[in-house]
C-alpha cells in the first residue's frame, strides 16, 4: 500500500493544552492523530466517518480488512455504538472499564464498514489514561484506532516510537509518556453467552473468571485459549530481524539486589542460578560464532552477573536492555516492545529474552514474546489439555529456544513394587505421548520425568520378581532395573508435583512439611481434585486404594499393574498441565 509523506506532523507535548485542542479539532475534521493509552499508542480517527478511517490504513501501510477498536471516554457512549449488550458484556464493562480491555459486541448501524472490516461486531474500549480521556472528550466522537505502529513493527509504547513510524504520514501525535502496561488490551468476544478471550492482555483470564464467578450463571464458563475468530490473526506479527531465544526463569524467586554490598553466599547462589543461563547461552553462541553480537532482554541480576564475571571479551559482545528486577513481569511487559525495538536497531545477531511461567500477566507477555520469537509470526493455536493424543514424534531439540524440565515424584511406603510400577508407567506415558513443550509457547520445550521414593524405604532394593513379570505381561516392558530409594527432603523441593499411593502418606508428609500443601496429593485425592470419579464394572464408585500385591497370586500382581496403568492414563493430561506443559503439536 502506498504511503505518502504529506504532513508536517504536529507533536503535542504532555502539558500543551492548546496543542491538544488543535489535535482534537483535526480528528473532528477527518484527520488521523496518534494518542497515548495505558496499553500502547493508538492511531485514531473519527469512528463514524468512513473516509477518515480509511486514512488510518494508508498511514499504517496495510489494507483495511482488519477491524479496528472504537475508543470512548464515557460508558454512556456505548448504547449508540452497539445493538446488543449481553449480560456477560455488561459484567465486563462494569468490572473492567476504564481499563486495558476491549469488549466485542454486536455493532449498531452507526458504525461504518471501514471500522469493522465488514463484520457485524465491534470492539469497544475505554482506556484508563487521563490525558487520553481528555483528548477523546475534546474530539467529541468515538475514535477508531489500531495500534500506532507501521505494519510489521511492534506496537509503540512511547511517542517517539510513533514518531519513528509515522512522522510525515499523519496529522499529529499526542505525547502522553511511556505506556504503563506496554502490551495491547485483552480482547474479549462477549457476543455469546460466555466470554471468549481472543487476545490475552493485562486483564487476565483469572480476573475475568473471578468477576463471572460471582454471577452464578457464569461459574467456570470462561473459555480460554480458544482458536480465535479474530481477523487480525492473518497478519504477520512483529518479529525482529534477528533470532529471538526465550530463556524461561522460574517465577516466585525473591528479588535479589545484586549490588548489595556484601552479598551472602545464599544470595550469590540464587543470583547465579537465575542469571547464569543467559551467560552460558551467550558463551555457547560465541563459541560457534566469535563475532556475534548478542542482545539480552533481562533483569538487572543478569547484567550484574555479567559484570561480576569480569569477562571483558564476553561483555564486549553483549548489548543489554534491562527492564528492572528479573522476576518483575510487569516491568518486563512494560519494556518488551521498547526493548525489542532498541535491540533490533543495535543490529544484534540474536536476542536472549526472559520468559516467564505463570497464568497472570505472564500469559499476555509470553503471547507477544513468542510471536516475536516465531520466525513467520504465525499464530499458533493453543491446544487444550484434553486434546493430548497419542504422539511419539521426534522434534529436534534445536527447534526449541529453550527447554525446561518438570517432574512428578511418586511416594509409596517402601518404593519397591508400587514405586517401580508408577515410575515405570509414567515414564512410558511420557515417551509415548510426547514430545512436550511449554503451555505458553511451542518454542519452549518441556523435558518431563518421573521419580519415586519411599517413606520407609531401604536403599537399592529391586522389585519382587513376580512384580517384574506382571509388569512385563501388562506393558511389555521391564522394571527389573528399578532400585528403591528413601524419601529425602531435596526430592520434595526438586519435584513439581508429588503423588502418594494413599491418603495417609499425604498426611504424614504435610505434618512434617506443611509448605507442600497444594503440591502433594494421593492418587485418589488428585483425581477428586480434578472432578474425576472412577466407576467399577457395575457403575459403582470405585475405590482408589492401592495395595501392594506382595503375597498375592499372579492375578493380583497383574491386576495392580493394569489398574495403575488405567488410572495414570486418565490422570496423565491433568498432570502434564499441572507441570506447565502440553503435547507438542
Ligand atoms: O490496547 C489496544 O487494544 C490498542 C490501543 C490503541 O487501544 N489497540 C490495538 O488495536 O491493539 P489493533 O488494531 O492493533 O488490534 C486490535 C485487535 C486485532 O487483533 C483485531 O483483529 C481485534 O482486535 N478485533 C477488533 N475488532 C474485532 C471484532 N469485531 N471481532 C474480532 N476481533 C476484533
Ligand atoms: Mg496492532
Instruction: Give 244-279 pLDDT, tens digit per residue.
Output: 999 998 755 566 777 777 777 887 888 888 899 999
Confirm whether 243-378 and 397-583 share one CATH topology: yes
Q: Which ligand is in closest contact with the Cα of 199?
A: 1
**Size (the chain), residues:** 585
Ligand 2 center to residue 60 CA distance, Å?
10
| Among the bound ligands, the one closest to the CA of 43 | 1
Choose the most confident range, by mean pLDDT, from 333-337, 362-366, 483-487, 577-581. 333-337
For residue 336, the CA-to-ligand 2 centroid distance in Å is: 14
Ligand 1 atom closest to Cα of residue 229: 31
Compare 210 and 533 and report the one with higher pLDDT.
Answer: 210
pTM recorded for the entire structure: 0.66
Domain boundaries, the chain: 10-218, 243-378, 397-583
Probe residue for ligand 1, chosen from 147, 181, 364 as the CB with the greatest number of ligand atoms within 8 Å: 147
Distance from the alpha carbon of residue 66 to the mean position of ligand 2, in angstroms:
10
Question: Mean per-residue pLDDT for 450-456?
Answer: 93
C-alpha of 470 from chain center: 43
Q: What is the 3-state secondary structure (H, E, C) of 58-69?
A: HHHCCCCCCCCE
Q: What is the pLDDT of residue 274?
A: 87
pLDDT score of 299 = 95
> What ligand has the least distance to the C-alpha of 237?
2
Distance CA 493, CA 453 (A): 13
- Look at ligand 1, atom 24, and give the residue with the nearest C-alpha: 67
The CA-based angle 507-509-512, given to 5 degrees, is 105
Identify the CATH number of the domain defined by range 243-378. 3.40.50.11030
Q: Is the pLDDT of residue 145 over 60?
A: yes
pLDDT bucket at 210, cuts 50 / 70 / 90: confident
Tens-digit pLDDT profile for residues 299-319 = 999 999 998 888 888 999 999
Query: Does pLDDT of 340 surpass 70?
Result: yes
Which residues neighbour 555 within 8 Å (Cβ) at sequence distance 6 or greater?
none
Cα of 328 from ligand 2 centre, angstroms? 24
Tell me which architecture the domain covering 10-218 has in CATH: Alpha-Beta Complex (3.90)
Considering only CA atoms, which residue is closest to atom 15 of ligand 1? 146
User: 585: pLDDT confidence band, cut at 50, 70 and 90?
Assistant: low
In the chain, the percentage of residues whose pLDDT exceeds 90 is 55
- Say what the pLDDT of residue 242 is: 86
pLDDT at 236 over 50: no
Using the predicted structure, report yes or no on whether residue 492 has a pLDDT greater than 90: no
Q: Which residues contact 481 (CB under 8 A, 6 or more apart)?
A: 462
Q: Which ligand is nearest to the CA of 44?
A: 1
Sign (positive or negative) of CA dihedral 387, 392, 396, 400: positive
What local confidence, expressed as pLDDT, does residue 384 receive?
24
Domain 397-583 has CATH 3.40.50.2300: yes
Rounded to whole angstroms, how far apart are CA atoms 449 and 157? 41
Atom of ligand 1 nearest to the CA of 122: 29
**pLDDT per position as a tens digit, 163-209:** 999 999 999 999 999 999 999 999 999 998 888 888 899 999 889 98
For residue 386, is pLDDT > 80? no
Pocket of ligand 1 (CB under 6 A): 37, 39-40, 42, 66-69, 102, 104, 116, 119, 121-123, 125, 145-147, 184-185, 187, 198-199, 230-232
Nearest-CA residue for atom 12 of ligand 1: 146
Least confident residue range of 104-118, 250-264, 284-298, 352-366: 250-264
Residue nearest to atom 3 of ligand 1 (CA): 185
CA–CA separation, 326 vs 355, rounded Å? 10
d(CA 68, CA 71): 9
User: Cβ-count burial of 401 within 10 angstroms (0-12 exposed, 13-18 middle, 19+ buried)?
Assistant: buried
What cell numbers appear for 23 in the block?
Answer: 489535535
Q: What is the pLDDT of residues 543-556, one digit of tens each?
A: 666 788 888 888 88
SS3 sequence, 374-395?
A: CCCCCCCCCCCHHHCCCCCCCC
Ligand 1, residues 38, 161, 232, 367: which to mutate, most atoms within 8 A of Cβ? Answer: 232
Percent of the chain scored above 70 by pLDDT? 88
Amino acid at each position: 500500500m502506498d504511503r505518502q509523506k504529506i504532513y508536517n506532523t504536529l507533536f503535542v507535548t504532555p502539558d500543551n493544552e492548546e496543542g491538544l485542542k488543535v489535535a482534537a479539532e483535526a480528528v473532528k475534521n477527518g484527520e488521523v492523530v496518534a494518542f497515548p493509552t495505558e496499553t500502547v499508542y493508538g492511531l485514531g480517527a473519527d469512528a463514524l466517518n468512513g473516509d477518515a478511517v480509511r486514512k488510518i490504513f494508508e498511514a499504517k501501510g496495510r489494507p483495511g480488512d482488519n477491524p479496528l477498536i472504537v475508543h470512548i471516554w464515557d460508558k454512556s457512549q456505548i448504547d449508540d455504538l452497539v445493538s446488543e449488550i449481553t449480560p456477560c458484556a455488561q459484567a465486563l464493562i462494569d468490572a473492567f472499564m476504564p481499563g486495558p480491555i476491549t469488549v466485542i459486541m454486536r455493532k449498531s448501524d452507526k458504525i461504518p464498514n471501514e471500522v469493522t472490516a465488514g463484520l457485524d461486531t465491534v470492539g469497544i474500549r475505554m482506556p484508563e489514561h487521563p490525558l487520553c480521556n481528555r483528548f477523546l472528550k475534546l474530539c467529541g466522537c468515538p475514535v477508531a484506532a489500531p495500534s500506532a505502529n507501521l505494519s510489521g513493527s511492534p506496537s509503540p509504547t512511547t511517542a517517539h516510537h510513533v514518531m519513528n513510524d509515522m512522522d510525515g504520514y499523519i496529522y499529529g501525535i499526542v505525547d502522553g509518556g511511556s505506556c504503563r502496561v506496554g502490551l495491547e488490551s485483552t480482547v474479549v468476544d462477549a457476543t455469546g453467552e460466555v466470554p471468549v478471550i481472543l487476545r490475552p492482555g493485562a486483564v487476565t483470564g483469572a480476573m475475568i473468571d473471578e468477576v463471572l464467578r460471582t454471577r452464578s450463571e457464569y461459574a467456570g464458563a470462561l473459555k480460554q485459549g480458544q482458536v480465535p475468530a479474530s481477523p487480525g490473526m492473518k497478519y504477520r506479527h512483529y518479529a525482529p530481524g534477528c533470532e529471538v531465544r526465550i530463556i524461561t526463569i522460574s517465577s516466585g524467586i525473591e528479588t535479589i539486589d545484586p549490588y548489595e554490598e556484601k552479598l551472602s553466599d545464599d544470595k550469590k547462589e540464587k543470583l547465579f542460578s537465575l542469571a547464569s543461563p543467559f551467560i552460558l547461552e551467550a558463551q555457547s553462541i560465541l563459541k560457534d560464532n566469535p563475532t556475534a553480537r548478542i542482545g539480552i532482554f533481562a533483569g538487572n541480576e543478569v547484567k550484574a552477573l555479567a559484570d561480576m564475571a569480569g569477562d571483558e571479551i564476553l561483555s564486549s559482545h553483549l548489548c543489554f536492555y534491562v527492564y528492572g528486577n528479573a522476576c518483575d513481569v510487569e516491568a518486563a511487559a512494560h519494556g518488551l516492545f521498547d526493548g525489542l525495538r532498541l535491540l533490533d536497531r543495535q543490529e544484534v545477531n540474536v536476542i536472549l529474552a526472559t520468559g516467564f511461567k505463570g497464568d497472570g500477566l505472564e500469559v499476555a507477555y509470553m503471547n507477544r514474546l513468542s510471536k516475536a520469537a516465531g520466525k513467520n509470526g504465525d499464530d499458533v493455536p493453543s491446544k487444550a489439555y484434553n486434546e493430548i493424543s497419542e504422539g511419539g514424534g521426534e522434534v529436534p531439540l534445536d527447534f526449541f529456544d529453550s527447554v525446561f524440565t518438570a517432574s512428578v515424584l511418586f511416594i509409596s511406603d517402601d518404593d519397591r513394587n508400587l514405586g517401580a510400577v508408577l515410575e515405570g508407567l509414567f515414564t512410558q506415558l511420557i515417551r509415548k505421548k510426547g514430545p512436550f513443550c511449554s503451555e505458553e509457547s511451542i518454542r519452549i520445550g518441556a523435558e518431563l520425568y518421573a521419580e519415586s521414593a519411599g517413606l520407609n524405604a531401604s536403599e537399592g532394593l529391586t522389585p519382587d520378581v513376580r512384580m517384574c513379570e506382571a509388569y512385563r505381561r501388562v506393558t511389555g516392558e521391564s522394571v527389573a532395573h528399578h532400585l528403591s530409594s528413601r524419601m529425602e527432603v531435596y526430592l520434595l523441593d526438586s519435584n513439581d508435583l508429588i503423588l502418594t499411593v494413599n491418603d495417609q502418606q499425604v498426611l504424614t508428609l504435610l505434618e512434617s512439611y506443611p509448605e507442600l500443601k497444594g503440591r502433594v496429593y494421593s492418587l485418589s485425592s488428585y483425581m477428586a481434585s480434578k472432578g474425576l470419579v472412577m466407576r467399577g464394572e457395575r457403575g459403582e464408585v470405585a475405590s482408589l486404594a492401592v495395595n501392594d500385591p506382595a503375597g498375592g497370586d499372579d492375578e493380583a500382581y497383574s491386576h495392580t499393574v493394569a489398574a495403575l496403568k488405567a488410572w495414570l492414563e486418565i490422570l496423565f493430561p491433568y498432570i502434564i498441565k499441572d507441570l506447565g506443559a502440553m503435547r507438542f503439536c
